[in-house]
Amino acid sequence: MDKAPLIISLKTALVSTFFTFFLGIYAAKFVVNLKRGKGLLDAIFTLPMVLPPTVTGFFLLLIFGHKSLIGQLLKTFDRSIVFSWEGTVVASTVVAFPLMYRTARGAFDQMDHNIIYAARTLGLTEHHIFYKVILPNCWPGIIAGTILAFARSLGEFGATIMIAGNIPNKTQTISIAVYTAVQAGNYDLAYKWVIVIVIISFVSIAAMNLWNTKQSRIVTNKGGI
Amino acid sequence: MKKITALLLTLCVALSLFTACSKKQAQETKKAEQVKLTILAAASMTDVLTELQKDYETANQNVELTISFASSGALQTQIEQGAPADIFISAATKQMTVLKDKKLMVDDSIIQLLKNKVVLIVPANGETKITSFEDTATDKAKKVALGEPASVPAGQYAEDVFTSLNILDKVKAKAVYGENVRTVLTWIENGEADCGVVYATDAATTTKVKDICEAPVGSCKDIIYPAGIIKASKNQDASQAFLKFLQSDTATQKFEKYGFTVIKK
């Protein structure tokens, strides 16, 4: 069995989760601190989660397709997002971003703000407060968001197939490999890939949950007197 | 007391919905003349069959056609999984044979309906140096759009052509696979790929692509579109009537207008 879809899926999911992690947290921080326009920006950031993946894929084609500004610019460097592995990362990041953003934002909103006020009265800079007070306290929520983002990136199909296409050894992720196998009537291959991805998803979620529980214990224990 | 009243009300509403439904069914069976046929057809037949659908429905007011267009491989899978359909028109004999062997088709209803050809196309408004199938293996073509060979007949025929020219491996390295022949056509229309292989009939439906050349004679086997009635169909007579229509002179004219070659018995 050709291992390419497995490697491509893992590479894509890991890289896009990496980007989503930072983009989601900073977007959440930005929106939480906004005075006006919170609702509008929140709606825009959550949009890729609500839209059907094929619609998201369509918008990505409009933005990165070879007729667009970005597409034309990349063409001069002989690169392209459409029909390339980079396209799978872009698609996965865009669809996973709302999950990370919303979870991080929820974690920030639900945090006990008194701790932040106390930190301010003690003279800590905002920068210090974010990294040493807010993030550690919201860590379980952020990890939950990362788990969701990874799972979503791994399972992305609609937007990926529209912008990255189905190119074996380049952009054919496990989801696309299953689809292709079923279309071709090759149920054996489809079963094999289904088992692989179920195992991966199961293991990664179980592992992250385990780590999360350990972290929670540390956080709550630290707060105890 | 409140709970009992609520329960009784719910029962009444449910009962009235039930009787309303069964009344509707009785009315529907009264109009037993109305026949609904579901046809699963290869994507390359989209334009011609849509036109024929209008003609047939006008001439036969009691028949309503629903046509689903997709790659022959995808349709074959749907039929294998029991999709409720009456007629299957494939772009290759392979899918029809598989279904026949699985005893899912009415064997003596299968006819060879049409012939087609594959061509190499490029975007109409691009500058291209491609002049032949062999050029796809050179640097003149960076991305080649093809149908996915295992499920799209057009993709399989394209592979046959490249194999006979001994350039399959080179072309595969820059191939982008579409899930049906119309996806490939759209990609070339929008310039997402430098060239692609579709049917001559597909290329003729749009001015946004340029037909470079036909597949060399003998490079791929004859492209034959078989049509047949699905065994599980509940409208065998109506399906037979429609298949007969597809072989009539009116239909032949339309098929030839779109570039298909009609196989005469």
pLDDT tens-digit readout, A141-176: 898 899 889 999 999 999 998 889 888 889 999 999
Q: With beta carbons under 8 A apart, name residues in chain B contacting A167.
A: 175-177
**Per-residue model confidence as pLDDT tens digits over A34-74:** 888 899 999 999 999 999 998 999 899 889 887 888 888 88
Mean pLDDT (chain A) is 89
Which site among B71, B72, B77, B194 would you substitute to test the A interface, given the most A Cβ atoms closer than 10 Å to its Cβ? B77
Return the closest-CA partner of residue B185 out of B207, B170, B165.
B207
Residue numbers in A near B76 (CB within 8 A): 185
CB B138: neighbour CB atoms within 10 A? 12
pLDDT for residue A214 is more than 80: no
Q: Which of A89-103, A128-142, A182-196, A206-220 has the lowest mean pLDDT?
A: A206-220
Model pLDDT, residue A176: 93
Output the CA angle B232-B151-B143, nearest 5 degrees: 155
Please give the residue of chain B at the shortest CA–CA distance from A167: B176
Residue B165 has pLDDT above 70, yes or no: yes
Find, in chain A, the residue whose alpha carbon is nearest to that of B76. Answer: A185
ipTM value: 0.73
Virtual torsion, Cα A75, A76, A78, A84, nearest 10 deg: -30
pLDDT above 90 (res A79): no
Using the beta-carbon criterion (under 8 Å), do B73 and A183 form an inter-chain contact?
A: yes
Are B150 and A184 in contact by the 8 Å Cβ rule? The answer is yes
Q: Of B12 and B129, which is predicted with more confidence?
A: B129
B167 part of contact set with chain A, CB < 8 Å: no
| Alpha-carbon span A155 to A175, nearest angstrom | 6
User: Of all helices (H) and strands (E), which one includes residue A77?
Assistant: none
Tokens in use for A154?
Answer: 């791994």
Contact across the interface for B150 and A180, Cβ inside 8 Å: yes
Q: Do A183 and B193 touch (CB under 8 A)?
A: no
Interface of A with B in 92-111 (CB under 8 A): none
Task: Please indicate if any CB of chain A lies within 8 Å of the CB of B190.
Answer: yes
CA distance A188 to chain B (A): 14
- Interface check for A67 against chain B (CB to CB < 8 A): the answer is yes
Residue B100 has pLDDT above 50, yes or no: yes
Question: CB–CB of B148 and A183 under 8 A?
Answer: yes
So what's the pLDDT on residue B14?
Answer: 78
Residue A66 tokens, joined: 């070879």
* pLDDT beyond 60 at B189: yes
pLDDT of residue A107 exceeding 70: yes
